[in-house]
Structure 1
C-alpha cells in the first residue's frame, strides 16, 4: 500500500508541475514598501507633472496608490513608482501579473533591462483599470520597446526593474496596485 501512495504522490507532482506556469509573488506592499519603491516624475527632465505614491492599507489589502496630474507640457508626460529587482528572474518567466484598481484610465508597466542604458529607454505594456480589484496579466510578448535602438523583445533574465506608470497624455491619474507577481 505504501508504494501506491508514493506513486500517486509522484504522479500528482509530475502532472502539477507541467499543468500550469508557477507564479512568483514579487510584491504585496506589506512591511515597509517605501524602502523598495521610488516615486519619479517627468520633473527630472524638465516636465511639469505632479503627483505622489503613497502606501495604503484597507481591511483586506496593502497597496500603492499612484496619483497626480500628468501633463505633456514642456516635453513631459509621466509619473511613476519603480522598484529595482534584487534577484534575476528565471529565464522561463513569461510575464507579470498585477492586482489593480483605479479610475478607469489606461496605465502602463515599464520594464527596464540590462539593455536599457539610457534613462528614457524601457519596454512598455498597457492595461486599463476599473473601480474594482482586477487581475491583469501582461505576457512579455505584450511589451514594446520605447525606441528603435532596443531589441524588439526582452528576455526575462535581463529585467532589472519594474515600474507602474501614468504616461503619455494630459490626465488625472489614480491607480492602486496590491500585488505584483511574475508568471
Structure 2
C-alpha cells in the first residue's frame, strides 16, 4: 500500500460510516409511540367527527394510522394525531419530512409555536396521499398561518407541536405515517 492509501483509507472508512449510519429520523413509530403521540378530534369543542389512532407494523415498517370520519356538522371538521415537542427544534431546520400513504385524500400538517396562543391558531401545510408510500417534504414557507396576527411562516426554533390532520370537509380519512423528520 502506498502512502496515499494509508492517508485516504481512514477518511474513506469514516465517510462511508457516516453515509451508511445516517442519523435516525425524529420519529419512526417503533418504540412506545403512545407515549409521544395523542389523538384529538373536534369533539373537544362540540364537533361530531370520529376516528382513532393506532400503531401498526407491516414488513418491518412501524407506522401510525389515523382513520375515521370527518364531519363539518356542529362547527366541527377535524381528527388528528399530534406530538408535543419536549425540546425545541434547531433554528436551522428548514422544514418537515414525512413518509406517508393514504386513501388519496388531501391531508394537512399543523404546527403550533410559542406564538399560537389560542386553540384555533396554527400553521398549516397540505399534501396529497396515494396508496403507495411517498416522501413528502414541506418547507416552513409552505405553512400558512390560520390567523392574521401570526407571523407569515413558523420559526423552527419556536415550534412546540406537530400534528397530522384530516381537516375541513366531510370525508373518510385513512392515513399512515411511518416517518416524521426535520430537514
| TM-score using structure 1 length | 0.89
Following TM superposition, where does structure 1 have runs of at least 4 consecutive aligned residues deviating by more than 6 angstroms? none
Q: What is aligned with 1:91?
A: 91
Q: Contact conserved, 1:24 with 1:182, CA < 8 A, in 2?
A: no
CA distance 1:55–1:61, change in 2 (3 Å):
same
Measured in 2, the distance between the counterparts of 1:146 and 1:121 equals: 6
What residue ranges of structure 1 are gaps of 5+ in the alignment? 17-21
How far apart are the structure 1 equivalents of 2:43 and 2:127?
A: 24
- What's the C-alpha RMSD, in Å, of the aligned pairs? 2.2
The SS at the match of 1:104 is: coil
Deviation at 1:23, TM superposition (A): 7.0
Cα distance per residue 1:42-61 (max 9 Å; x no partner): 00000000001000111221
Unaligned 5+ runs, structure 2: none
The Cα shift of 1:153 comes to: 1.3
Which residue is 1:9 aligned to?
11
Counterpart secondary structure, 2:131: coil
Deviation at 1:5, TM superposition (A): 2.2
Residue in 1 aligned with 2:26? 26
- Corresponding residue of 1:58: 58
Paired residue total: 175
What is the TM-score when the length of structure 2 is the normalising length?
A: 0.89
Alignment CA distance shift 1:161-1:23 (3 Å): farther
* Residues 76-133 of structure 1, C-alpha deviations (whole Å, 9 max, x = no match): 0000000011111111100010000000000000001010111111100000000000
Tell me the equivalent position of 1:150.
Answer: 150
